[in-house]
Amino acid sequence: MLRPCRLYGKIMYIEKQKSKECWTISELAGQLDISTRTIRFYEEKGLISPERTPGNQRIYTSRNRARLKLILRGKRFGFSLDEISEMIGMANADMDEMEQIKKSFAFASTKLKEIKLRRVELDLLEQEILSTMDKLKKRMEKLKKQEDSP
């Protein structure tokens, strides 16, 4: 049931399947270009829960890493950590499972609608930037002409 995973030169034992690779907190932080404090903070908020070594240090599996990536993705779209927490289905404990699932389901489908709107907005934003660039270009050409033949 347990498989080895090298860490700090020793062999650690964690759950099967997750055992291909694991990382320390600073390794992961380096990979994802965030601070270790950020990762610990997400753990405080209940967004991730990595295993620990016998010496109490955090070990992150590829599953943990995937979840972190998902969180960062959410953030890049302006979702708050609380929202992301709900999206992952972390929230609403103390409910019977059926109710919990229904609520998560409803939440997910409103988020899907939001995502469709975001697509449209992303297009608008792109057009906005393109038109700004166009104006800049024209202004630049005008300035160059003035320079060449004053």
Q: Could you say whether residue 2 binds a copy of itself (CB under 8 A)? A: no
Selection from 60, 88, 125 nearest residue 80 by Cα: 88
The distance in angstroms from the start CA to the end CA of the chain is: 82
Residue 124 near which of a copy of itself, DNA, none (CB within 5-8 Å, type-dependent):
a copy of itself
Q: By CB under 7 A, is residue 53 in contact with DNA?
A: yes
CA neighbor of 92 nearest in space, from 18, 84, 101: 101
Report the nearest approach of a copy of itself to the CB of residue 13 (Å): 28
Q: Which of 17, 31, 35, 49 binds DNA (CB under 7 A)?
A: 35
Using alpha carbons, list the distances in angstroms from residue 31 to 47, 49, 64, 68, 93: 18, 18, 13, 11, 32
Which stretches of the chain bind a copy of itself, using CB under 8 A? Answer: 70, 73-79, 87-89, 97-98, 101-102, 104-105, 108-109, 111-112, 115, 118-119, 121-122, 124-126, 128-130, 132-133, 136-137, 139-140, 143
